[in-house]
C-alpha cells in the first residue's frame, strides 16, 4: 500500500522524535548513573555487574554534611561565577559597542585574536598568574577568581555581544546623537534595552561556564575560597576513588546549575546558537 505525503511526513516526524529521545537518554544517562550511585554504599558502587536495583541510603550525603561546609563552597561558586560574569559584562559591553558602531579595519582581527586566546592551555600561564596572586596576597581569595574568571570568558562574551549589537539599526543611534545624547546615555538608554535579550542570554551562558570552571579554582584556592568543583576534587585520593561519596558530592555540585539551566534553558540555547548563525 502506497503511503501518502502526509503519512510520510508523519513517519519522518516520529523517527526524528524517537532519535531525539534516544540521544537525550544517552546524554542524560551519566547524570542518572551519578545520582543512583550517590545513594549506594561503596561496596554497591563497585559491584560487578552494576546494580540497578538496590536499597538506597543517604549516608554519603550525611558524611559530606558532617565533614565539609557545603554551603560555603556553594556560596563561593555563586559569588565567583556571578561576579566574574558581572565584571566581564562591564568590560565587554562598552568594548563591543565601540567595535560594533565604530569599527576599524582591525576590528575583526582583534576579535579573532581574542577568541584565539581560548585555545591557549590554562596550564601554560599557570605559574605567572599564581606568582602574581601570591605577590598580591590574593591566593585563596574570591577576588582572584572573579578577575580571572572574567578574563577567561571575556572573548566569548565579546564575540556574542558584538554580533547582537551589530544588528541594532545605526539610524537609531545617529538620531540620538543628533539630539545630543552622550555615549554613556546612548549605551544605557538605547543599546541595552534593544539588546537586552542578547545580553541576558550571554550572561546566563557565562555563569554556566564559570560555575563549571575547575582548573583555576583548584590551583588558586583551598579552604576559604574553594568552589564546588574544588570540593569535588577533594574527594579523590592517591589510594583510589570512593565512587559513592564522589557521586554524592558531584550531585550536590551539579544540582544548583542544572536547576538554573533548566529554568533559563530558552535564553541559554539562544546564547549558544546565536554566534553560529551569524
140-153 pLDDT tens trace: 899 999 999 999 99
Average pLDDT over every residue of 150-159: 91
Is the model's pLDDT at 52 over the cut of 80?
yes
Residue 189 — very low, low, confident or very high, per pLDDT cuts 50/70/90? Answer: confident
Contact 247, 38 (CB under 8 A): yes
Is the model's pLDDT at 117 over the cut of 80?
yes
pLDDT value for 275? 46
Residue 278 — very low, low, confident or very high, per pLDDT cuts 50/70/90? Answer: very low
Average pLDDT over every residue of 74-103: 92
> What residue segments make up the domains of the chain, in order of their start?
5-38, 69-277
Average pLDDT over every residue of 110-132: 87
Per residue, the 3-state secondary structure of the chain, as one string, reads: CCCCHHHHHHHHHHHHHHHHHHHHHHHHHHHHHHHHHHCCCHHHHCCCCCCCCCCCCCHHHHHHHHHCCHHHHHHHHHHHHHHHHHHHHHHHHHHHHHHHHCCCCCHHHHHHHHHHHHHCCHHHHHHHHHHHHHHCCCCCCHHHHHHHHHHHHHHHHHHHHHHHHHCCCHHHHHHHHHCCCCHHHHHHHHHHHHCHHHHHHHHHHHHHHHHCCCHHHHHHCCCCCCCHHHHHHCCEECCEECHHHHHHHHHHHHHHHHHHHHHCHHHHHHHHHHHHHC
Is the model's pLDDT at 276 over the cut of 70?
no
Measured distance CA(67)–CA(235) in Å, rounded: 11
The CATH class that applies to domain 69-277 reads mainly alpha
Average pLDDT over every residue of 71-82: 93
More confident residue, 265 or 133: 133
pTM of the model: 0.82
Residue 239 — very low, low, confident or very high, per pLDDT cuts 50/70/90? Answer: low
pLDDT one-digit tens code per residue, 204-223: 889 989 998 989 999 998 88
Amino acid at each position: 500500500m502506497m503511503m501518502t505525503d502526509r503519512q510520510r511526513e508523519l513517519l519522518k516526524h516520529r523517527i526524528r522524535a524517537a532519535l531525539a529521545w534516544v540521544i537525550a537518554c544517552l546524554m542524560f544517562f551519566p547524570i542518572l548513573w551519578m545520582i543512583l550511585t550517590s545513594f549506594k554504599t561503596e561496596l554497591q558502587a563497585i559491584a560487578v555487574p552494576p546494580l540497578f536495583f538496590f536499597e538506597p541510603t543517604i549516608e554519603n550525603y550525611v558524611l559530606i554534611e558532617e565533614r565539609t561546609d557545603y554551603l560555603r563552597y556553594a556560596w563561593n561558586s555563586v559569588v565567583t561565577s556571578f561576579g566574574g560574569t558581572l565584571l566581564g559584562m562591564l568590560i565587554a559591553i562598552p568594548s563591543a559597542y565601540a567595535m560594533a558602531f565604530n569599527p576599524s579595519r582591525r576590528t575583526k582581527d582583534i576579535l579573532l585574536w581574542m577568541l584565539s586566546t581560548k585555545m591557549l592551555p590554562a596550564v601554560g600561564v599557570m605559574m605567572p598568574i599564581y606568582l602574581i596572586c601570591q605577590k598580591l596576597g590574593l591566593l585563596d581569595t574570591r577576588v582572584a577568581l572573579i578577575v580571572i574568571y572574567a578574563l577567561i570568558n571575556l572573548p566569548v562574551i565579546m564575540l556574542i555581544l558584538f554580533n547582537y549589537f551589530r544588528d541594532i539599526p545605526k539610524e537609531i543611534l545617529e538620531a540620538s546623537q543628533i539630539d545630543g545624547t552622550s555615549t554613556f546615555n546612548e549605551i544605557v538608554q538605547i543599546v541595552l534595552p534593544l539588546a537586552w535579550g542578547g545580553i541576558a542570554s550571554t550572561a546566563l551562558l557565562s555563569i554556566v561556564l564559570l560555575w563549571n570552571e575547575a582548573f583555576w579554582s583548584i590551583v588558586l584556592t583551598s579552604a576559604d575560597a574553594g568552589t564546588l568543583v574544588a570540593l569535588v576534587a577533594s574527594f579523590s585520593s592517591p589510594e583510589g576513588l570512593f565512587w559513592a561519596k564522589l557521586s554524592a558530592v558531584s550531585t550536590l555540585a551539579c544540582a544548583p546549575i542544572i536547576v538554573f539551566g533548566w529554568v533559563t534553558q530558552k535564553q541559554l540555547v539562544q546564547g549558544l546558537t546565536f554566534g553560529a548563525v551569524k
